[in-house]
């Protein structure tokens, strides 16, 4: 059933998303002694992979539901993605955003026709605000990551990679709420050939690493990471998939993230956000494991506030 869901999703979202390019860097390959392939979701519509899952979720709604709109809470990329998906599919999006979200992300939501409702920057306030909109407007709540349709949609990035590079031995993706890594691991399970999925996570928000150890969903006490897309925790939809299909999770330091981000910017000449650099940072921090291998890295997005760069 998940096989069909993935294949159907890929076909149905195709008119609304970009098939992003896969880039390589001789310098990075030389540094790692591996063949590394970067799936550039920073070039995706809305600047991140999130449009895949958002589009798939909106596509499942009835006409009456679309009429009433969708609502989500998101600190960033999913906000833009759901706004854009709703706009493309003739619906409307209510976006609950923390008041502290970067201006560049608020601007993008507004540009894509999303209606922003600001709230205090904590999970409880976000959930309450979203629930109140749901009740007031009849809009359908779509979670940024803990949603089967969203998870399936995010898996299509790995699906595209495996179509072009069927013999990949690893795919590395960053872990935030778990939607991308869960979708990726499903796609790789059904369409890979012995390929392993490895998650990449900052030490500062290593809830997924600890969740796999303890067998239950762990939370982060603090979120002192530059990888602003990875602060959220796993959910009851994403966690069981991750438990079943993800090989392991590599944790990286903040310095590792900045070094990897700078390497991508300077050598590949592409703009990636810190959360995306976490995946390359993971490979750089465990070179022996990946030496001589064909490794896919999902560059999850490129939405950065250029006024707040770490270098």
**Interface with its own copies (CB under 8 A):** 21, 23, 42-43, 47, 104, 262, 265-266, 268-272, 302, 306-307, 309, 311
Q: Is 76 helix (H, G, I), strand (E, B) or coil?
A: coil
Cβ of residue 22: shortest distance to its own copies, in angstroms? 11
Cβ of residue 84: shortest distance to its own copies, in angstroms? 11
**Backbone Cα Rg of the chain:** 18
Cβ of residue 208: shortest distance to its own copies, in angstroms? 26
Residue 26 CA, distance from chain mean position: 26
Cβ of residue 299: shortest distance to its own copies, in angstroms? 9
Query: Which of residues 211 and 276 has its CB atom nearest to its own copies in the complex?
Result: 276
- Residue 48 is classified by DSSP as B
Cβ of residue 86: shortest distance to its own copies, in angstroms? 18
Cα separation, 283 vs 287, whole angstroms: 6
Cβ of residue 96: shortest distance to its own copies, in angstroms? 24
Task: Please count the other Cβ atoms lying within 10 Å of the Cβ belonging to residue 139.
Answer: 23
Q: Measured on CA atoms in the order 297, 300, 303, 309, is the torsion positive or negative?
A: negative
Question: Measuring CA to CA, which residue among 119, 137, 139, 173 is closest to residue 296?
Answer: 173
Question: Measuring CA to CA, which residue among 19, 26, 29, 27 is closest to residue 295?
Answer: 29
CA distance to 10, 96, 130, 219, per residue, from 79 (Å)? 21, 8, 12, 22
Query: Which of residues 117 and 258 has its CB atom nearest to its own copies in the complex?
Result: 258
Question: Measuring CA to CA, which residue among 211, 216, 170 is closest to residue 193?
Answer: 170
Query: Which of residues 27 and 219 has its CB atom nearest to its own copies in the complex?
Result: 27
Query: Which of residues 135 and 311 has its CB atom nearest to its own copies in the complex?
Result: 311
Query: Which of residues 25 and 149 has its CB atom nearest to its own copies in the complex?
Result: 25
Cα separation, 150 vs 154, whole angstroms: 6
- Residues 11, 146, 162: CA angle, nearest 5 degrees: 40
Query: Which of residues 30 and 216 has its CB atom nearest to its own copies in the complex?
Result: 30
Task: Please count the other Cβ atoms lying within 10 Å of the Cβ belonging to residue 96.
Answer: 24
Cβ of residue 281: shortest distance to its own copies, in angstroms? 17
Instruction: Name the token pair of 158.
Output: 């790995």
Cβ of residue 271: shortest distance to its own copies, in angstroms? 4
Question: Measuring CA to CA, which residue among 149, 159, 175, 128 is closest to residue 81?
Answer: 149
């Amino acid at each position: 059933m998940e096989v069909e869901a993935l294949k159907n999703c890929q076909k149905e979202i195709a008119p609304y998303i970009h098939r992003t390019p896969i880039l390589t860097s001789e310098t990075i390959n030389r540094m790692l002694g591996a063949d590394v392939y970067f799936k550039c979701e920073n070039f995706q519509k809305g600047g991140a992979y999130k449009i895949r899952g958002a589009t798939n979720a909106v596509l499942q709604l009835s006409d009456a539901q679309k009429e009433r709109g969708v609502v989500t809470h998101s600190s960033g990329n999913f906000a833009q993605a759901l706004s854009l998906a709703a706009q493309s599919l003739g619906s409307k999006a209510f976006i609950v955003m923390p008041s502290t979200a970067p201006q560049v992300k608020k601007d993008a939501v507004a540009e894509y026709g999303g209606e922003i409702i600001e709230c205090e920057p904590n999970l409880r306030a976000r959930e309450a605000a979203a629930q109140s909109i749901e009740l007031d407007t009849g809009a359908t709540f779509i979670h940024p990551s803990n949603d089967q349709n969203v998870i399936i949609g995010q898996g299509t990035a790995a699906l595209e990679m495996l179509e072009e590079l069927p013999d990949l031995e690893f795919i590395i993706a960053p872990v935030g709420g778990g939607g991308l890594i869960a979708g990726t691991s499903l796609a790789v399970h059904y369409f890979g050939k012995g390929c392993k999925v490895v998650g990449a996570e900052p030490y500062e928000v290593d809830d997924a690493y600890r969740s796999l150890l303890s067998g239950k969903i762990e939370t982060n006490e603090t979120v002192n990471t530059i990888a602003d897309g990875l602060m959220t925790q796993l959910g009851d939809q994403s966690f069981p998939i991750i438990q079943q299909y993800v090989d392991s999770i590599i944790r990286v330091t903040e310095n590792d993230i900045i070094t990897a981000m700078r390497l991508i910017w300077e050598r590949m000449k592409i703009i990636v956000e810190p959360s995306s650099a976490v995946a390359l940072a993971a490979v750089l921090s465990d070179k022996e494991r990946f030496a001589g291998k064909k490794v896919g890295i999902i560059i999850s997005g490129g939405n950065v506030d250029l006024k707040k760069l770490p270098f």
